[in-house]
Amino acid sequence: MFKKNLFKENLRIAFSSIRSNLLRSVLTVFIIAFGIMALVGILTAIDSIKGSINNQFRSMGANTFSIVNRDSRLQVGGRVERFTSIEYREAMKFKEEFDFPALVSISTSASDIATVKYKSEKTNPNISVVGSDENYLLTSGYEINQGRNFSVNDIISNAHVVIIGSGLVKDIFAKDEDPLDKIISIGNGKYKIIGVLKEKGSSFGSAGDKLCVLPITSVRQYFSRPNMNFRISVLPNDSKLLKAAVNEAEGIFRVIRKLKSFNKNNFSIETSDSLSNLLIKNIRYVTIAATIIGIITLFGAAIGLMNIMLVSVTERTREIGIRKAIGAKASTIRRQFLYESVLIGQLGGFFGIILGILIGNVVSLVTGGIFIIPWFWILSGVILCLLVGLISGLFPAIKASKLDPIISLRYE
């Protein structure tokens, strides 16, 4: 009971001292709050962006992997190795020979700067045109909102049909106009719209909603160019078979490319996880930099808090003498000053955490991330502020507890 009352008394004295030196205390609280705000805010935004990256890559095609061409020129030792593009013949042969429970699609980029016209309406030259087969939408995570997907017959017969993104509909059609069966111009060709994709938004490696998907045979005919490169995407029927499918695909494509056992792969296999992990790995350096900035700021705040506590000891020398004269122990005086220092640190941490969460999530929402409450960083902020308060208050508290009561009473 006595210890409980002593704790309350020390806490009351700490609040009283903070109120009596309000300006100084508020400035110190804001210095600490700024350090915690920088730490929690930046790291909250980074955690949110990491989650957004994973979600966006999953939306590009869950459990899908792709066989793509490696860099066309690669420096190896003193020589330059050249890798040829994945040809249509190679991609089709893989699709025929890949005997695995999975969907296989072949696609190629026809243009990233196409202009689409409908009657008098015309888009900016920023439309992506993709040539694909009937499985592309499934392996890429797209869904049909209106109309239908390509049929095998559309691909074989080189049909002049197109599937467009929802962003393109808003650009060239009136508000309530039905785009299905309308004829649009893409480059020099005219195509009938048979489908509209569900809104997806822009993501890494994705054209977003301003997209035209044409039959791959049509693209080969009207957008043909030298060394046209094709992409093979594979979606296993069971996500547990992803690793086995990757190994099987690698072996088959090595045979198609006539690679010997001692030859390295002249192609790459990309998975959603590998791409997102690469980006998250690069973000790690931003996390380290943010942590260093926050710690440096907190270090400055700790020095400022210690200085304030030392000034407080000097100003309250006579008070300390009176307390000791009426029976206060050195340990009691020491606890009084430690409580005051820790209290200032926790007040700074509280405001810093609140501001950090708000600022971090605002940045996250602006960049397309999700709202999160970073419990780990909140706990870290509380612990850091506790350490700042203890370290900053320890020396002044010890100094106060060692003052001679007689000399203290004669002070001033």
Query: Looking up tokens 């202009």, which residue turns up?
Result: 115
pLDDT beyond 80 at 153: yes
314 and 242 in a single domain? The answer is no
93 and 221 in a single domain? The answer is yes
Domain count along the chain: 2
| pLDDT tens-digit readout, 114-152 | 999 998 899 989 899 999 999 999 888 888 999 999 999
114 and 256 in a single domain? The answer is yes
39 and 100 in a single domain? The answer is no
* Closest residue by Cα to residue 267 from 84, 141, 34: 84
- Least reliable range by pLDDT among 80-89, 161-170, 346-355: 80-89
Query: Which of 265, 287, 309 is the last residue in one of the domains?
Result: 265
Higher pLDDT, 131 or 336: 131
A 10 A CB-CB count for 27 gives 11
SS3 (DSSP) at 268: strand
Query: Which of 265, 293, 318 is the last residue in one of the domains?
Result: 265
Query: Which of 242, 265, 288 is the last residue in one of the domains?
Result: 265
| pLDDT tens-digit readout, 228-276 | 899 999 988 887 788 899 999 999 999 999 988 888 888 888 876 655 5
227 and 89 in a single domain? The answer is yes
114 and 180 in a single domain? The answer is yes
pLDDT beyond 80 at 347: yes
Phi and psi at residue 128, to the nearest 5°: -85, 135
pLDDT at 80: 47
394 and 333 in a single domain? The answer is yes
Quick check: pTM over 0.85?
Answer: no
* Closest residue by Cα to residue 219 from 125, 171, 154: 154
- Does 395 reside within a domain? yes
Instruction: Give the residue numbers spanning the domain of 402.
Output: 2-56+277-409
Summarize the confidence of residues 92-113 as an average pLDDT: 92
Query: What is the pLDDT confidence band of residue 75, given thresholds at 50, 70 and 90?
Result: very low
Query: Looking up tokens 């694909």, which residue turns up?
Result: 132
- Does 119 reside within a domain? yes
Summarize the confidence of residues 49-63 as an average pLDDT: 60
Report DSSP letters for 53-83, one per residue.
Answer: HHHHHHHT-TT-EEEEEPPSEEEETTEEEE-
- Does 189 reside within a domain? yes
Query: 302 near 391, Cβ under 8 Å?
Result: yes
Query: 34 near 352, Cβ under 8 Å?
Result: yes
244 and 370 in a single domain? The answer is no
Query: What is the pLDDT confidence band of residue 72, given thresholds at 50, 70 and 90?
Result: very low
Average pLDDT, the chain: 80
320 and 253 in a single domain? The answer is no
pLDDT at 248: 93
52 and 91 in a single domain? The answer is no
